[in-house]
Structure formats: C-alpha cells, structure tokens
Structure 1
Amino acid sequence: MRTKSLTIVLALLLVTATFPAAASAATTVGVAVDQDDATGEAVVLVTDNGTAVENATVNVTGELAYAGAGTYRTDANGTVTLPEPAETQNVTVVAADGDATGETTVRLVGAEFSVDVTQADDGAVTVDVSRAGAAVENATVEVTVENGSYAAAGNYTTDGNGTVELAAPAENVTATVTASEADDAATETVTLLALSAPLDLTVEQAAGVEIDVSRGGEAVENATVNVTSDGNYSGTGTFETGADGTVSLAAPTENVSITVSATADGDTVSETVELTTEFVGEQRNFGQAVRAFLDALRTAGFNGPPGRIISDFATANNPGNADDAPGRSDASDQSDAPGRSDARGQAKKDAADDKRGPPEHAKSGQDGDDSDASKDDRVENDADEEDSEDADADDGDDESEDDEKRPSSDRGNGNGNGRNK
C-alpha cells in the first residue's frame, strides 16, 4: 500500500517537471487623454483597474511636428501634461507599467485659427489669417457674397504676412470670407460698404426756413435733422427728411442763430445760420410793394404793356433775392438790376404822395360854393397832376430825349408834365 502511494507521488512530480505552470496572461493599463479647451493643453491619465498608476512610462508621437512628442513618467496622480500643438493633428500615446501596456490615438486641436476682415476708409478690404496670433502663410481664402455683386469674389492664397487684399465694392454687399489651412478653418461674415459722396446740407430762409439734405446731388430721405437755437425759436427739435430730402420750419419771431445737424448712413454734417424777423417782414410786405409800384405807374401816366416792367421790379425787389438774405451763400449782386432803383424810388415817392395834402389853390376857398364831391374831385385831379410832375422830373433826361422823338402834339404843354390835358 505504501509502495503504491509512493509510486503516485513520483508520477505527479514527473508530470510537474515535464509541464511547468503556464505563464500569467498579459495585462493592459488604461490610457485616457483629455484636452483643455481654454489652454489647449492635453492631460494623459494612466490607470490599472481604475487606479492611477504612478511612474508608468508614457511615449507620445505626433502626426505632424509636435513639441509634445517624447517620453514621460506619470506623477503620483498617474498623469502627464502635454502642450497645445501648433497645428491640429492626431497624437498617439502609449503607456507601460511593467509588462502591462495601453495605447490610444486622439486628435489634438491646434492653437486658435482665425480670420479677420477689415475695411479701410478708402473702401479697401484686408483679410488676415492667423493661428495663435501668428500669421498663417499659404492659407486658402474664399470670398462669396449673399446679395448684390462684388468683383473681388473668388479664391485667394495668403501672403507671407497671412493677408489677402481685396478691392472696394462698387455697392454695399454682405460678404462671407472663409479661410482654411491643413485641417483648420474659420469663417467671418461682414457688410462691405461702397464709397459714397459726402453728405450735403443747405439751410435757407424764405417765407419760412427750408433745410435740404443731399448726397451727390440726390435727395437723402429719412435723414435725421436736429435743430438748436440760441434764442426763442419754435423750429427747434429733431426731424426726419421726406422723400425730397427736405424739412420745412416756421419763420422766426425774433432774430436768432440756429445750428442744424443732419445725419444719414453714419455721416453727419452741420451748419449755423442767422434768422431775422426783418427778412420775414420784407417778404410779408412784398405784395404791398408791388401794388404800390403799379399805382405809381398809373400815376406817371404809363399806358404801355406792364408785364415786362412789373416782372423786372418783382425780380429786383423780392426780399428772397437780396444779397444779405439769411441763409443765402450764393446770392449775386443785384444792385444794378434794371429798374431796381427807379422802381423803389417811384414806390417811395408814391407812398409820400399819399401823405401830402391838397394843393394851395384847393385851400383858398375860391370854390367855396362847390359841393364837397366837386372839391374832392379837384383835389384828386390836382394831386394826380403833381404826382405826374414829380415822376417826370425824376425821369430827367430820359423823358426829354423821348420828347424829341414824339409828335409835337404829344409833348405836353411845356410845364414838365408828359400828359395832355
């Protein structure tokens, strides 16, 4: 029995010596990589069954040139920190702890890739492409427009400064600019403005105050107009131009200085003018002056077509044509306008005649037995005769020259009066 047992033990020993115990199965470690969006750094974590592995070996290789490529040892937290890559690329990380290994490949985003579009005062457009603040050469730039037409739309390549220069648009357009390089891309949409003529503003006082806003000779609708005054003026405030580019304000009730500012499409222009009540009074009395001039013509015995001479008088004496009319910067000198001084003189004379009393012989009482109506008729006739004499005296040499050309029957009775009685 003992012999049999010994035989079994020897057999087991022989089997064990012939077939050694199988080697332990190979194990792996966990490898995880996380990139910080704010800093761009990547943190490698090595674990074994969820536990951080200190002093594990970490080998890093990049798809492109990568400053973080190399071999590291994990810290007490089982981590290794890698720098942000200059360019976006795939990075492979292999970790080993004894015989246990782990591997992973991740895509690390490079430094910020951006495109910036600016328009200068002269309308020129510049596209800048950069990565982490550094210019990106040979980046592809595509320019498209959503509305209108832009001659600079198309594809370009950045120069050594990372820029592309584009011409000013002929009209306002919305452009989309896309820049790309390697696996990076960035897009910006901007509104590009066409060059335009400067904003023009004119302020004129006539019956009221007229404000005109234009650009390149064209009326500017919906321009904002602001009016301030150094005195009491009802036209102060903020207004908006109509389709004809104008704003109409009331005439002043006192002499004031107003400042008018107009704003449209980001442009502002202003003008300061003096408004006077004297000008308003002249306009108001102009119709009375025309009527007085007509009365003076009739008094002087004028019996020809009045159209031309009345037109000349109106043109010469309209307050709106005066050299010193408020708001008129282009008024021309009309001091020598035909009929100007004569017409005014005649109108003033006529006004003076209205205040003159009856002639002396009408006061003598020699016609005391006449009726009041007859006296009035004589006074009116005598006044007409004296008015005619004064008017003829004012005409001077002109009348005498005309007399030489008239038939003797039309030259009057030699007393200076050009009318036949």
Structure 2
Amino acid sequence: MRGSKLITAVMVIAMLTVAMVPGAVAAADSDQSLQVSVEQDAETGNATVTVTQNDTNNTTVDNATVVVESSANYSGNDTYQTDADGTVELPNPDERVNVTLNVSTEDGNNSTTVEAELIPHSESLDISVDTDDANDTVTATVTQYGDAVDNATVKVNGTDYDNTSSETDENGTVSFDEPMNTTNLTFVASANNETAETTVEVSGIDLALSVEKVDNTTVVINVTEDGQPVEDANVTVTGDYTDAGDYETDENGTVDLAAPLQNNTTIEVTAEYEGDTVSKTVTFDGEVAEDDPFGALVTKFIERLKQNTIEGPMGQKVSEFVTEHNPGKADEKRPDHAGKKDKGEQGPPDHAKKDADAEDTEDDSEEDDESKNNGTDKDKSNKGQGSGND
C-alpha cells in the first residue's frame, strides 16, 4: 500500500497551537506530596487549577493556598484558596500568558511550584491537515486546548471542492476525497463560537504513464497511480501505427503492443482513470526505413504475421494492412486489430480499383464489338432473305 505523503503548508491563518492541554499535569517532582493540574474550559477559556495529594487515591486538597503570578498584565494574578474539590478557577486571559503557581497546604507543611501557559479562548481552536494516499483521502483534525472536538464544522475550499462542509467525529476528524491534481486547499473549522483556518498545498493523485519499446519487438505501456499499478485504466493509442486503438490495462497496469515496423513512427498514448488523464508522445524506429519501398513494409508485416498467432485468414490481414498503410491512403489508416473504435466500410486498395475498372472497360468493349457483329450479321441475313424473296 502507499504511505502517507507530507503536506507543505502554504499559509496559515490563525494557526492555533496550545501549550497547556486539558488533562495534562503540570506537577511537582514525584518526591513531593502535592500535585497540580491546569485545564482550560473549551466553552469559556477559564482555567481550572486542581490540587491533589500525590498518593494512590489522588486525594484533593481543600483550603490550599494558590498564588498566581506572571510578568504580563493578567487579571488572574492573585492569591486563592482551593474549595472542597481542591480547585481554583482563573479567568480567560486576553492574550497568551505564562503563569507561575505557588501552591501550599493550609498547615504550610507541603508546597510546590508549577508553570503553565494559558491560551485566550479566541485562539484555542486548532485545525491540522494530513493526507492518506492509501485511501486517497485528505483528513482534517480539529482540537481545542489540545482535546479532540467532535461535531465541529469543517469547510474546505479549492479546486473541485467549493466550500464542501462536513462534521468531525468523536476523534475530531473528518475526511475528504483527495484532489486529482496538486492544489491549494483552505480548511475552516468552527466550534464553540470560535474558528480556525489554514491553507495547505495538497499533492493530488499522481497518475503516471510510461511507454517503452522492449527487445525491438514490443511496446509496453504502463500506468501507475502513486507508484502502484492501475488495472482497467483506459488507454488510447493513436498514430500511423498498426496497433493504434483503445485498450484497458491488465492487473499489472500494462498494455503490450507490437513494435512499429517503420522508422520514425510517432505514437501518442493517453491513459484515463477515474477522471484523471495523462498523455505521452513517443517516436520509435522499426525495421523498415522511411524511404524503403512500400513493398518492403508489407513484406515485414507478413513476416510478423507468420511469427504470431493471428485470427482469420492471413490474406485478409495483409489486404487490410495494404489498404490502411498505402501511402496514398494516409488519412484512412486504421486496421481492425488496432482497437475498439468504430470505423466505416473501406474499399479495396487503389490498384485493385484500377484493375477492376480496366476489366469493366474491357468487358464493355467486348460487348460493344459483339453487338456490332451481331447487328452486321443480322443485316446481311436480312438482305439475303430479301433478295431471295424477290
């Protein structure tokens, strides 16, 4: 399977990173008896400080003193006492602020100091984007204060998207189809009256095409997507070429065709798969030079027929080849075996038509001579009969 690709961030608008995440513990060393955690509320941005004993029961500590200090002008700088649940609530900051919490028990026998960064509620929402090439998807993840946000609305805008909207799941994620081509996508997340937006460049599905001549006998067309073979891709081959036509790739993503017979044969190959298209034009040499007589080309074609299993009479195949590749019929070159495209009825080669016309002319001439002779004989017969009657 294909692995995930890196995404290059082009521009980030209100990229919101969180330093203090809910549930994370900013605690004293393990040999101290007090433990302190700080969590910010996703709806208000207020911070809850919880003081517990560092024991197996994680017992809350009431009436503990909490002194909040910071170098910034933070309205929460003050001295507090924990309630019966061992908590103190601090106000939502106006800006990002690093605070120092000096905590001590009521009896003053135990104390600890912790630091935390508080994030304004207006900057609490975050959205990140990743791609999964194995599933051809782009996934956005929405968090607030580091926690996944379910039921957040995510809109994506860019080529082929036009503000497509969806809701995040319990993991804070929502997936969209990967774009067909590399493009910039803008993601906007909305939750708890806040928004977060980011624009990233996403690499789309990479449909690749290679056309190579192998051992001077075979042209191998290979179609891949993100490096993996593509089965049932539509392949169209055009050009003055015996195997021009429409094909589908096999399980290995390949189409095998006969190598061109004549030098400087230009072939255009187009592969299409699930709406994505890639084309390539190549020129190959064959066994017959461009200035060789047309008969040399026909001879090589007959040799190739003898070397391979063919369906139908060989004479019919040769006739079709001559019809299609006669230099005077360049605009009608498309043999039956070349592919699936419909083609109109085609007449015999020019020389065959000329021979037929000559035969028809000769036949008409003979008929005229015979008619004249018959008329002359008849006249003579009539004259003889008349003189006898006289």
Structure of greater Rg? 1
Higher relative contact order (CA 8 A, sep 6+): 2
Considering fraction of residues, name the structure with more helix.
1
- Whether the TM-score (by the shorter chain) exceeds 0.5 is no
Considering fraction of residues, name the structure with more strand.
2
